[in-house]
Amino acid sequence: MATDPKTTWRPTISLDRLRLRAELLERARRFFASRRVLEVDTPMVVNAPVTDVHLATATVKLASGKRAWLHTSPEYAMKRLLAAGSGDIFQVCRVVRGDERGRLHNPEFTMIEWYRVGFTMDALMSDVDALVRKLLGPEAVHLRAERLTWREAFARHTRFDPVDATRKELERVALECGLAPDDAKASDRDTLLDLIVSARVGPRLGRGSLTFVHHYPASQAALARLDPDDPRFALRFELYSEGIELANGFAELGASGEQRERFERDCKERARRKLPRTPIDERLLAALDSGLPECAGVALGFDRVLMLAAGATHIDEVLPFPIERA
């Protein structure tokens, strides 16, 4: 990787794409303004990071010597605003995920996150569909709209049912996907399923369509409510187009006790994996205690949508300065 300042001072984005980036951000703001969704701005430096074992949070040391974190999503702070009575809100912000770099990943990227009060998961998927089509422009008219359950997506692109598959079956498929034998044996069921999604299912989703995958396993609920009709599954969805994951959304969990239990399970799993310890966000739990309105929320990877709109093949092509040039 070239590091000579005489060459790496230049941006990796073309001027045409820089203008397109600005235009799409303006389209997004017009979309929310037309729906009377309030734009908000919450801190990037936070006192409590996510506990999710799959996210590496970058740390900062303040002048006082206190340790803090760069947020991986504005979710916790935005839910505190919702609990305080904000109503529908959105945010365009930079987020940081410490260990992500590749064709679709830069450690720092732009996220559009929004919450709609009184919305179901289905209603929010329709909202996401409308915004993404607005961002992609006229070509999006030709994209099919498709909704599959997580189980249906597996059935379409693999040879087994992920709910009924045995541990041995999952290990076999994970090995076929390139996981080392020792790693396969050490991985839990969700880790194996995530690997199979990344290698076999996700890259085949959304070909010529906007494909929503919904009803993820309860063990992957994160901050989503469980489906009251079938609590084996969570009211969570992801959006794919051309094999790229664009968005992740939830019918939001408002029960503080259940959310605390999930955070505590994450902390135990982090300890088992020898990952850095992180404090639980007590302010978020206090906000949930005070009463979160029934709502649904989603995070959209803006840079990935811009890649599709611009016909780019690498995220660096739509960023002014990726991490190596930052």
In angstroms, rounded to a whole number, what is the distance separating the alpha carbons of residues 256 and 259?
5
Task: Tell me how far CA of residue 155 lies from CA of 149, 152, 160, 203, 231, in angstroms.
Answer: 10, 5, 6, 15, 20
Query: Residue 305 sits in which domain range?
Result: 5-143+208-325
In angstroms, rounded to a whole number, what is the distance separating the alpha carbons of residues 37 and 247?
18
Tell whether 191 is covered by a domain: no
Q: Report the CATH number at residue 121.
A: 3.30.930.10
Tell whether 21 is covered by a domain: yes
Q: Which residues of 25-50 are buried (b: 16+ CB within 10 A; e: fewer)?
A: beebeebbeeeebeebebebebebbb
Q: What is the pLDDT along the chain (326 residues), one digit of tens a residue?
A: 667 899 899 999 999 999 999 999 999 999 999 999 999 999 999 999 999 998 999 999 999 999 999 999 999 999 999 999 999 999 999 999 988 799 999 999 999 999 999 999 999 999 999 999 999 999 898 999 999 999 999 989 988 889 988 988 889 888 988 888 888 888 889 889 988 999 999 999 999 999 999 999 999 999 999 999 999 999 999 999 999 999 999 999 999 999 999 999 999 999 998 999 899 999 999 999 999 999 999 999 999 999 999 999 999 999 999 999 99
Pairing assessment for the beta strands 209-217 and 233-241 based on DSSP bridges: antiparallel
Question: Are residues 89 and 114 in contact, defined by beta-carbon separation less than 8 angstroms?
Answer: yes
Tell whether 257 is covered by a domain: yes
Tell whether 158 is covered by a domain: no
Give the total number of structural domains in the chain: 1
Tell whether 238 is covered by a domain: yes
Question: Are residues 150 and 215 in contact, defined by beta-carbon separation less than 8 angstroms?
Answer: yes
Q: Where are the alpha helices (DSSP H) in 71-149?
A: 75-83, 121-136
In this prediction the pTM is: 0.94
In angstroms, rounded to a whole number, what is the distance separating the alpha carbons of residues 29 and 267?
37
Tell whether 221 is covered by a domain: yes
